[in-house]
Amino acid sequence: MRLRIGIILLLVVIGLATWNYLRPIPGVAATGSPPASEVIAGTPPAMPWPSRGSAAVGVQNLGFIGSSGNEQAIPAASVTKVMTALVILEDKPLKINDPGPTITITDIDVQSYNADVADRESVAAVQAGEQITEFQALEGMLIPSANNLAETLARWDAGSIDSFVAKMNARALALHLTHTRFADTSGANPASVSTPTDLMSLGMSAMQQEVFAQVVGMGSADIPVAGTVYNVDGVLGQSGIIGIKTGSGLNTGANFLFASQISVDGVPITFYGCVMGQPTLADTFAAAKTLIGAMEAALHVRKVIVRNQTVATYITPWGAQTDLVSSVDVELIEWPGMVLRQRLDARTLVLDKPLPAGTQEGTEHMVLGGYNLDIPLVTADPMYPPGRFWRLTRLPNL
């Protein structure tokens, strides 16, 4: 009897040990170390907004920083041509040093030129049969702000100005420019309206086009018939200004959409801004330089994560351990008072086979202003499945 009981107990122990050994290996979650949120140190500066009109400023990657708070949609004037150029370059892309296709100036183009001259608008001379490249037409439209070449480009691209204006408004909708409406290609029509914040967003998109950025950064250009033309942007090169577009001549005042590249903590940063409704172009230029100076003083670049920095850790019940480390350095442009948010997105490990060091097992998600980053996280050390002894002797809850 005792032998029988002993055999039964032995079989039970063997069965329990087998069941324990064959149970699934428990998943292991990573424990994160960075705080979920962090307020950027410092006090946001009181921005020197112009005393009349309205303005907005932003920074590459960081995005929108602030506005004067009194924005109303008013005529964009020739800043409208930024959207004209963006649509053209998206429809008919150019690369640096690529003149693009040739456009033949027609009698309709000459009629538009003569009408614009009669209305005392900004123009570039053309003549019927003239051959002008896409790049040269963009130079003429953006540098001396030729209204007639905006119309020529629109007809060339879409067949008619109305069809092209419809494209402009569709692109504005896609960019979420909710206070913007275009009625023409040049901005001569006061029904083409926008706000500083909308135009700044438009400028940020347009400057991603290398050819656009090249043209608006040119002080002058030589184009057929018109000859040498000069940039209306009178402060190009001052305060780091690299473009973008002026607009004036309507009774609501002068506008200036600008980009400026300045080194901050040794890193070149592109500032963006727009001032609208100023008495003169000179006032827009002065306001832009003042705003650039205020941004430069308040911005900083900080390395928030260094390569191989521990961001999270895996610890297994059987004693194995590895850190999850960043595979890259992460530098962020910071504005005082903004909130940096972080979230660990790491897989739950089920170690049924060895896991080599350097395996990506998750990301650190970071949000700051316009930044929305996923930082790759990799294992610092190899990880191995549990041994036989642990699998046989582990507690029921493991």
Q: Please compute, for residue 114, the number of CA atoms within 13 A of its CA located in the half-sphere on the CB side.
A: 8
Which pLDDT score is estimated for 17?
Answer: 57
The pLDDT score that the predictor gives to residue 104 is 95
> 154-167 b/e with 16+ CB inside 10 Å = b?
bbbbbeebeebbeb
Cβ contacts of 42 within 8 Å, gap of 6 or more: 298, 300, 336, 337
pLDDT digits (tens, 9 = 90+) for 48-70: 999 999 999 999 999 999 999 88
Q: What is the mean pLDDT of residues 256-269?
A: 95
Q: What is the pLDDT of residue 34?
A: 79
pLDDT (tens digit, 9 = 90+) per residue, 13-35? 565 556 656 678 888 889 887 78
Q: Say which range, 7-11, 171-175, 314-318, 382-386, has the weakest mean pLDDT.
A: 7-11
Residue 398: the pLDDT is 59
The pLDDT value given to residue 59: 95
Query: Is 126 exposed, middle or buried (CB count within 10 Å of its CB: 0-12, 13-18, 19+)?
Result: buried
Q: Provide the whole-model pTM.
A: 0.87
- Burial of 372: CB neighbours in 10 Å, binned 0-12, 13-18, 19+: exposed
One-letter amino acid for residue 285 of the chain: F
Q: At which residue do the structure tokens 């050390």 appear?
A: 381
Q: Write down the pLDDT at residue 70.
A: 83
Are 241 and 258 within 8 A, CB to CB?
yes
| Amino acid of residue 139 | E
Helices (H), 185-320: 196-206, 210-216, 281-298
Q: Which of 345, 344, 352, 354 is nearest to 322 (CA)?
A: 354
How far apart (Å, rounded) are the C-alpha atoms in residues 118 and 111? Answer: 11
**Mean pLDDT, the chain, integer:** 92
What average pLDDT does range 244-261 have in this prediction? 94
- Evaluate if residue 12 carries a pLDDT over 60: no
Q: Has residue 5 got a pLDDT over 90?
A: no
Q: Kindly give the residue spans of alpha helices, DSSP state H, lying in the chain.
A: 2-22, 80-91, 107-118, 134-142, 147-158, 161-174, 196-206, 210-216, 281-298, 388-393
User: Which domains are present in the chain?
Assistant: 23-40+304-393 (2.60.410), 54-278 (3.40.710.10)
- Banded pLDDT at 393 (limits 50, 70, 90): confident
- Banded model confidence at residue 396, pLDDT cuts 50, 70, 90: confident
Q: For 103-155, what is each residue's pLDDT tens digit? A: 999 999 999 999 999 999 999 999 999 999 999 999 999 999 999 999 999 99
Q: What is the pLDDT of residues 191-225, one digit of tens each?
A: 999 999 999 999 999 999 999 999 999 999 999 99
Model confidence over 81-103: pLDDT tens digits?
Answer: 999 999 999 999 999 999 999 99
Maximum distance among all alpha carbons in the chain? Answer: 120
Confidence of residue 249 (pLDDT cuts 50, 70, 90): confident
- 146-184 pLDDT, tens digit per residue, is 999 999 999 999 999 999 999 999 999 999 999 999 999
388 vs 147, higher pLDDT: 147
Q: Which amino acid is at 18?
A: T
> The tokens of 384 are what?
């191995």
Give the whole-angstrom CA distance, residue 267 versus residue 261: 10
Q: What is the mean pLDDT of residues 362-376?
A: 94
